[in-house]
């Protein structure tokens, strides 16, 4: 029954969050974006206050009344200070770092404040990621890296960022769920695969292999057993000695990451093996290219070429841009944590 009730409530709660806290790269926390509820310790504290009130009322004990009023005033002040610990903080989604499927993608989140003040015990986390606790101790800004597991290739949105604090008394939890509009590019999960060099091609490679039949390399003295077809008879007729002609073929040392090299596999299995082969060949000096149905990237090498192929593998037959709200330009200047 509880599960069915949650399935009924959760979609409506998410719709309400989208209206109340729409996606944005930069969000300033104010009374419309922060929520205050008692923490477990705060719930016990309220229960104690209620018991004190009942005892004071039943026995007409002014001392207990005074103690109850003192604790109530402490709770009210605690609410104000708990809210002030997060109020006025600006949360900025700086950037998302690429990752491979099945690994944790990292997202850079910046916290800044217009007027320096001490803010402690600020907890941040994405769903399923490791939480981070930070402090804004009289500094303008701090940049943090949070992670979330990326289950599949393509554009990955980590979901809403939970930002919360129970500072200073631990009695009240101030929290919010923000969508910082960050999307990480997730590459296919690499699976080890070996590719052979491309077949020999005429005049297309930096390596010359002896024993060919195309390009003349020069004359060498005749050695017993060599074919008479390669004897340089013109030079012999000129009494320049007995020599043989030597030829070479150009070997194409380029490698192709070819979709058809993994016939019989499904789409994701092929992409994973192409990704694994790419990581292996990019660590060598070979030039390499990519062949996918409807796409061909000419052989080259270098970090830019590697990233281009990784992006093509990640977005093959997927949307080229995130399907969520469009990225908004950020005016935030990055400041590393101190």
Q: What is the pLDDT of residue 158?
A: 92
E-assigned strands of 252-320?
Answer: 255-258, 288-292, 295-300
Q: What is the pLDDT of residue 86?
A: 92
**Helix ranges restricted to H, 143-211:** none
Q: What is the pLDDT of residue 243?
A: 66
**Residue 90, beta-bridge partner list:** 28, 112
Q: What is the pLDDT of residue 218?
A: 63
Domain ranges of the chain: 22-186, 207-251, 255-314
Q: What is the pLDDT of residue 9?
A: 82
Q: What is the pLDDT of residue 251?
A: 47
CA separation, residue 148 to residues 76, 129, 151 (Å) = 36, 5, 9
Instruction: Write down the pTM of the prediction.
Output: 0.74
Q: What is the pLDDT of residue 303?
A: 92
Q: What is the pLDDT of residue 228?
A: 60
Q: What is the pLDDT of residue 8?
A: 74
Q: What is the pLDDT of residue 15?
A: 86
CA dihedral 237, 238, 243, 247 (to 10 degrees): -90
| Of 276, 271, 249, nearest in space to 259 by CA | 271
Average pLDDT of adjacent 10-residue blocks, the chain of 338 residues: 73 85 92 92 94 90 91 93 92 95 94 87 90 85 93 93 92 94 94 61 42 56 64 65 62 77 90 92 88 92 93 90 52 36
């Amino acid at each position: 029954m509880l599960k069915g009730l949650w399935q009924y409530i959760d979609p409506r709660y998410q719709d309400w969050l989208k209206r109340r806290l729409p996606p944005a790269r930069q969000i300033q926390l104010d009374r419309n974006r922060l929520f205050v509820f008692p923490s477990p310790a705060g719930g016990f504290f309220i229960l104690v206050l209620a018991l004190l009130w009942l005892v004071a009322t039943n026995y007409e004990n002014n001392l207990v009344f005074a103690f109850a009023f003192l604790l109530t005033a402490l709770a009210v002040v605690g609410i104000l200070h708990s809210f002030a610990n997060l109020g006025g903080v600006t949360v900025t989604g700086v950037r998302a770092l690429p990752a491979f499927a099945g690994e944790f993608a990292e997202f850079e989140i910046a916290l800044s404040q217009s007027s320096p003040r001490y803010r402690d015990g600020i907890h941040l986390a994405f769903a399923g990621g490791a939480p981070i606790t930070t402090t804004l101790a009289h500094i303008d800004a701090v940049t943090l890296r949070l992670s979330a597991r990326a289950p599949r290739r393509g554009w990955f949105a980590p979901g809403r960022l939970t930002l919360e604090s129970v500072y200073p008394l631990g009695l009240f939890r101030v929290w919010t769920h923000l969508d910082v509009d960050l999307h990480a590019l997730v590459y296919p999960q690499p699976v080890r695969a070996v590719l052979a060099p491309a077949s020999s091609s005429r005049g297309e490679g930096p390596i010359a292999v002896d024993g060919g039949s195309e390009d003349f390399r020069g004359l060498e003295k005749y050695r017993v057993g060599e074919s008479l077809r390669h004897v340089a008879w013109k030079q012999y007729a000129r009494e320049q000695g007995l020599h043989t002609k030597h030829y070479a073929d150009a070997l194409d040392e380029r490698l192709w990451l070819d979709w058809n090299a993994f016939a019989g596999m499904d789409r994701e299995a092929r992409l994973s093996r192409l990704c694994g082969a790419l990581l292996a060949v990019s660590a060598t000096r070979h030039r390499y290219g990519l062949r996918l149905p409807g796409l061909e990237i000419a052989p080259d090498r270098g970090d830019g070429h590697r990233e281009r192929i990784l992006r093509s593998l990640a977005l093959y037959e997927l949307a080229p841009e995130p399907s969520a709200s469009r990225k908004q330009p950020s005016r935030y200047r990055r400041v590393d944590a101190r």
